[in-house]
Amino acid sequence: MLKQQKIFFDFLRFCIGSVKEIPDSLKDADWKELYAIAKKQALIGVLFHGIKQLPKELSPDAGLLMQWMGMAQKIRQQNIRLFLDSAKVCKKFKQVGFRNCILKGQGNALLYPAPYMRTPGDIDIYLDGGRNRVMQYINKVCPNQVMRYHHVDFPVMKTAIEVHFTPSYMFFPVHNRRMQKWFKEVMDLQCSNVVTLPDGYGEITVPTTSFNVIYILSHLYRHVFTEGIGLRQLIDYYFILVKSEERRVKNLTALQRELKYLGLWKFTKAVMYVLHETLGLPEENMIAPIDVNEGRFLLAEIMQGGNFGQYDTRLGSKENEGKLHRYFRMNLRNLRFVKHYPTEALSEPLFRTWFALWKKIHRIR
């Protein structure tokens, strides 16, 4: 592992509270390089949370510190807006008859040592009621939105909103059928779990930690085959496992059987390696044994691509690419994963083609 990358991980463990002592390696830190890694992985706010706890002699120089502070303040403001908007969206959908819950996002932010340190994205909200009922409402309020398999855009405010009919999906049909069946069995409970937001920003409904142990893992897995995942998403999952009562209230063997049944087992073992190696996840919080080889491969992909694979240019730039270029880029990209996850990697282009045809047949945009 490169020296500065190792120092980055040492400090990252301190920032998230995985270790309590300031790492000795920090005296050799190249803060510009650490800032570049943090930016690539969308972890500016997370590292600044740790920087605030450092003595002056170990901190970045004044110029970089001010730049970092400015970025962290922007992230804080973004989180405040996302908290307010999430509460507003939850309340509005409930008023029009949709039980709902916020997926990922601000629910995950509440698990962090400070709720404003996580870089936020958009609002993903699950609505109970099924695809047809949800689409009827969306088409009435915002006509002609492009429908994906699991969600549709809902542009009614500055913050981007994705309305979900189902939380996630798998590309391999057998595993996807099992996953959709599991969602139908458990989603009712997720729409009842109300939490209070910090500093009086209201309330939102979020999934239980027990649900997120499987759901967030499936979300990570799917993104491996689309654009990629970064450390920001892995830190979310780290906190889910640390806060989870799964190993105490649920038979670990039963959870592992569920992960195998849903086709997530091999990926879970790779994730355990990454969480242990980079974030210091304790063994007592692991839900599967470590797979070193698969874990190293996954970690290399994470460090290469950055947040949601935005920095991965191995197959050309993604800027202003057309649909055809994207189609072939994704197909070529997934060839890398055939050796590691053959069922999902080979199913992804078939799934994409099937869904495009299904939409055309049903005249859906």
The β-bridge partners of 123 are 161
- pLDDT one-digit tens code per residue, 96-111: 999 999 999 999 999 9
- Dihedral angle sign, alpha carbons of residues 59, 63, 64, 70: positive
Question: 120 CB contacts (<8 Å, ≥6 apart)?
Answer: 75, 78, 79, 82, 105, 106, 109
Q: Are 115 and 95 in contact (CB under 8 A)?
A: no
Residue 194 C-beta-side C-alpha neighbours within 13 Å: 9
User: Which residue did the predictor score with more confidence, 258 or 358?
Assistant: 258
Residue for token digits 């070193």?
Answer: 292
The answer to whether residue 213 scores a pLDDT higher than 60 is: yes
Residues in the chain: 365
What DSSP state is assigned to residue 308? G
Compute the average pLDDT of residues 168-194: 97
Q: Are 79 and 115 in contact (CB under 8 A)?
A: yes
The β-bridge partners of 102 are 125
Average pLDDT, the chain: 93
pLDDT for 333 equals: 82
Tokens of 23: 């790492």
What DSSP state is assigned to residue 204? E
DSSP symbols for 152-172: EE--SSSS-EEEESSS---SS
Nearest to 179 by CA among 194, 168, 187: 168
- pLDDT one-digit tens code per residue, 2-59: 899 999 999 999 999 999 999 999 999 999 999 999 999 999 999 999 999 999 999 9
Question: 285 CB contacts (<8 Å, ≥6 apart)?
Answer: 241, 242, 244, 247
pLDDT for 356 equals: 86
- H or E element that contains 194: strand 194-196
The β-bridge partners of 252 are none
- pLDDT one-digit tens code per residue, 323-349: 777 777 777 888 899 999 999 999 998
* pTM, entire model: 0.94
CA 338 to CA 331: how far, in whole Å? 11
- pLDDT one-digit tens code per residue, 50-90: 999 999 999 999 999 999 999 999 999 999 999 999 999 99
**For residue 227, what pLDDT band results from cuts at 50, 70 and 90?**
confident
Cβ-based neighbour number of residue 7 at 10 Å? 23
Q: Classify residue 273 by burial, with Cβ atoms within 10 Å: 0-12, 13-18, 19+.
A: buried
pLDDT for 13 equals: 98
**For residue 315, what pLDDT band results from cuts at 50, 70 and 90?**
low
Give percent of the chain with pLDDT exceeding 90. 82
What DSSP state is assigned to residue 104? S
**For residue 296, what pLDDT band results from cuts at 50, 70 and 90?**
very high
The answer to whether residue 249 scores a pLDDT higher than 60 is: no
Compute the average pLDDT of residues 184-199: 97
pLDDT for 358 equals: 86
Phi-psi region at 100: left, alpha or beta (left = phi > 0; alpha = psi -120 to 50): beta
Give percent of the chain with pLDDT exceeding 70. 97
Residue for token digits 């404003």?
Answer: 116
Strands 161-164 and 151-153 come out as antiparallel
pLDDT for 247 equals: 60
Compute the average pLDDT of residues 135-148: 94
Q: Classify residue 172 by burial, with Cβ atoms within 10 Å: 0-12, 13-18, 19+.
A: buried
pLDDT for 68 equals: 98
Q: Are 85 and 123 in contact (CB under 8 A)?
A: yes
Cβ-based neighbour number of residue 40 at 10 Å? 17
* Ordered domains of the chain (ranges, CATH): 87-207 (3.30.460)
User: What are the residue ranges of helices labelled H in the chain?
Assistant: 3-15, 31-40, 44-51, 62-95, 105-109, 131-141, 173-190, 209-226, 231-243, 246-249, 252-261, 265-279, 292-305, 323-334, 342-361
pLDDT for 78 equals: 98
